[in-house]
Chains A and B, each alone.
Chain A
Amino acid sequence: MFICLCQIGSHGSLTTLNPGLKRFFAIMMRTMSKLRSMRDAIAEFVPDGSSVAVGLQLEQMIPFAAGHEIIRQKKRDLRLIGPISDCLFDQLIGAGCVKDVVAAWVGNVMMGQAYNFRRAVEAGEVRVFNMTNFTIALGLQAGAIGVPFLPTRTARGSDVPKGNHFFYQIISPFEPKETLLAVRAIAPDITIVNVQRADAEGNAHCWGNFGVMLEAVRAAKKVIVVAEEIVEQEVIASDPNRTVIPGFLVSAVVHEPFGAHPSPVQGYYSRDSEFFRAYHAETKTPEDFVRWRSKWVDGVRDRSGYLRMLGSDRVNSLRVKKHAYSAPADYGY
């Protein structure tokens, strides 16, 4: 295998290989590649009872396609982890996939509250561990760097830490009169992120606002990367500062264009604000949500079906209207 790779490297292209070697290489690449369909990735890496970190870049790049596949596969007893959730947690809760939530905010950002979340929490069906945005970041960072907790000065005198096992009051070992809060490390079973582009091994470029994605990827036991585009390894290697996920942390790569709709992906498509408004209007009661879900989630096989339902006019209206490329960076020497 190693020899084969060296030969590829020196020739630079598959076409220069003899047919036997080419076939062998193709098989090898298939087994090495982490590319999966969304259906396979969710089936394999999101078992019932998992803790799932998702929606980590706040209102950008929310992996709705992954969430909808989780609903279609009727996953149960999940723990959802995230800073704020713009509708995705509400959908998973409404579909009965969720046991508890570790989050700072759950709702519909432009419209306010989300109904499934509210109903489920008020009925005691879903437990919430109230966090704050900063303490979610700290918990994931503790998980990412392999320590049991990180200290902070936030949330003192607030009710958020009360009766919440993610917090513990400690005294600074260096300033004995100083009390701090320890935030328990959070290590998700699986982190699902949406990015602009990745290669087949999961090395991923992302730009825009990161929220807590960087910590959540490193803290997780497994990572699914959902990418708008799959590119050659050389494209990712050309700009390593933009590589936010190294492939060795990644379990599966899913090529899913418009996988974050209705949330935006910078440089690919805008936010579909009308979709969030409609979700608010169309999911007020449990019966309303069942109707919404049977149309947009269970009524389609996959993301392509969802996009057909959305219609090409609407999809096209969300595409980038005016590109704004950054200046290239010179890595030469």
Chain B
Amino acid sequence: MRYTLGELMVAAAAREIREGEVVFVGMRLPLIAFIVAKQTHAPNCVGLFENGVIRTKPAAELIYTMADPPNLLHATQCLDMMGVMGLLQAGRVDLGFLGAAEVDRFGNLNSTQVQGEHGIVRLPGSGGACDIASLAHRFVAMIDHERHRLPERVGYITSPGNGNGAGYRKRVGLPRGGPSAVITTKAVLRFGEDGEAYLHSHHERISVEEVVASTGWKLRVANDAGETAPPSPDERRAIREYDKDGFWTS
């Protein structure tokens, strides 16, 4: 393969960012997606980090956490959490990226606790994920595509997606938003008007059948479902310039 799976997922995530958007960036692959978007199709997007940092130019070096010193140097603003979360609540953030241990049929995310063979397995928790899923205009989740990680229904809703279907978010009092895509290690899922996920594209060398078999509910498949577009030369260059040793994308 001319590119790694990590690179494909980063490129797919980068394309979710539209030019000029304000984005809650997060770490790992979404951080690199933000950098790729800035260097390709969305040079004017703005990145927000939960620690309070706002950046219009990505950090000059690879960072492992959002508070690594290079992420503060030459930032647009170093604010506090209340400041950036306040912007999020006020509807000033277009898009947020989230990871999770589980994502379900309606795009609800769990990063708090899962049922293991010997009882409850405790995970680190929400962090800001619940806030971003609740308050951004849309969110994109990234996850390893394994059947137990894509159950029909998550065991615990850390971050609300479409709940149990269309209308849920309005009913519970969420002001806006919801999931717009789930980028997995096998496919890209999107959401119908009924709030349910469907297969939008499968990655190279992964069949539709494999994606469906690796999903914990009867995954609908779009009529025009094709292959996820591979990273372009520009996208690949941007990824490799940043993640030189492939810490995140190899």
- Give chain A's interface residues, CB within 8 Å of chain B: 57-60, 83-84, 86, 103-107, 109-110, 112-114, 117-118, 121-122, 128, 130-135, 137-138, 141, 152-160, 178-180, 207-215, 263-264, 266, 270-271, 273, 276, 324
B119 and A157 contacting across the interface, CB-CB below 8 Å: no
Mark contacts of B107-139 with chain A using CB atoms, 8 A cut-off: 1 yes-contact digit, 0 otherwise: 000001000000111111111111101110000
CB-defined interface of B8-28 with A at 8 Å, one 1/0 digit per residue? 000000000000000000010
Q: Complex Cα distance A86/B126, Å?
A: 14
Interface Cβ pair total, 8 Å cutoff? 185
Question: How far is B175's CA from A83's CA once the two chains are assembled, in angstroms?
Answer: 23
A159 touches B112 (CB 8 A): yes
B158 touches A134 (CB 8 A): no
Kindly list chain A residues whose C-beta atoms are within 8 Å of the C-beta of B64.
Answer: 109-110, 271, 273, 276
Asked whether A153 lies within 8 Å of B134 as measured between CB atoms, the reply is yes
B217 on the A face (CB < 8 A): no
Complex alpha-carbon distance, A248 and B141, angstroms: 45
Interface residue from A83, A104, A109, A134 paired with B65 (Cβ < 8 Å): A109
Complex Cα distance A216/B156, Å?
29
Q: Does B46 contact A (CB under 8 A)?
A: no
Inter-subunit contact B52/A158 (CB<8 Å):
no
- Measured CB to CB, the closest approach of chain A to B249, in angstroms, equals 15
Residues B65-87 near A (CB distance < 8 A): 65-69, 72-74, 78-82, 85
Min distance, Cβ A206 to any Cβ of chain B, angstroms: 10
Query: Given that A141-B82, A157-B169, A209-B52 are contacting pairs, would A130 and B72 also be in contact in the complex, using a CB cutoff of 8 Å?
Result: no
- Known A59-B68, A134-B88, A264-B68: A158·B81 in contact at CB below 8 Å: no
29 A-B contact pairs sorted by A residue (CB < 8 Å): A60-B72, A83-B81, A86-B65, A105-B126, A112-B124, A113-B124, A114-B124, A128-B125, A133-B127, A133-B131, A134-B81, A134-B89, A137-B80, A137-B82, A141-B82, A152-B89, A153-B175, A155-B134, A156-B134, A158-B133, A159-B156, A159-B157, A178-B173, A209-B53, A209-B78, A211-B81, A212-B81, A271-B69, A276-B64
Bound complex: CA A9 to CA B135 (Å)? 54
Q: Which residues of B contact A178 (CB under 8 A)?
A: 173
Q: Give the residues in chain B near A106, CB-CB below 8 Å.
A: 124-125
Instruction: Give Cα A132–Cα B82 distance, bound, in whole angstroms.
Output: 12
Residues of B within 8 A of A159 (CB): 112, 156-158
For B79, the closest partner residue in chain A by CB is A210
Kindly name the residue among A153, A207, A276 whose own CB sees the greatest number of chain B CB atoms within 10 A: A153
* Least distance between B34 CB and chain A CB atoms (Å): 17
Contacts of B173 in A (CB 8 A): 153, 156-157, 178-180
Interface string of B25-56 (1 = CB under 8 A from A): 00100000000000000000000011111000
* In the complex, the 4 A-B pairs of residues with the closest C-beta atoms, listed nearest first: A157-B172, A107-B124, A59-B67, A133-B128
Check if A155 sits within 8 Å of B131, measured CB to CB: yes
Chain A residues with CB under 8 Å of B85's CB are 133-134, 137, 154
Residues in chain A near residue B88, CB distance under 8 A: 134
Cross-chain contact A84 with B89 (CB below 8 angstroms): no
Shortest beta-carbon distance, B118 to chain A, in Å? 9
Chain A residues near B158: list those with CB within 8 A. 158-160
Chain A residues with CB under 8 A of B156: 159
* CB neighbours of B69 from chain A (8 A): 264, 266, 270-271
Question: What A residues does B134 contact at CB under 8 A?
Answer: 153-158
Kindly state whether residue B180 has any CB partner on chain A within 8 Å.
Answer: no
Q: Is B3 an interface residue (CB 8 A)?
A: no
Question: Which single residue of chain A is at the shortest CB-CB distance from B157?
Answer: A159
Report how far A109 CA is from B126 CA in the complex, Å.
13
Q: How far is the CB of A10 from chain B (nearest CB, A)?
A: 39
Residues of B within 8 A of A137 (CB): 80-82, 85
Partner of A103, one of B52, B73, B125: B125
Q: Within 8 Å of chain A (Cβ to Cβ): is B159?
A: yes
A35: shortest Cβ distance to chain B, in Å?
A: 27
Residues of chain B with a CB closer than 8 A to A109's CB? 27, 64-65
How far, in Å, is A288 (CB) from chain B's closest CB?
A: 18
From residue B13, how far is it (CB to closest CB) to chain A in Å?
19
Question: CA separation between A180 and B172, bound complex, in Å?
Answer: 10
Q: Which of B27, B68, B120, B126 contacts A160 (CB 8 A)?
A: B126
- Closest Cβ neighbor of B91 among chain A residues: A153
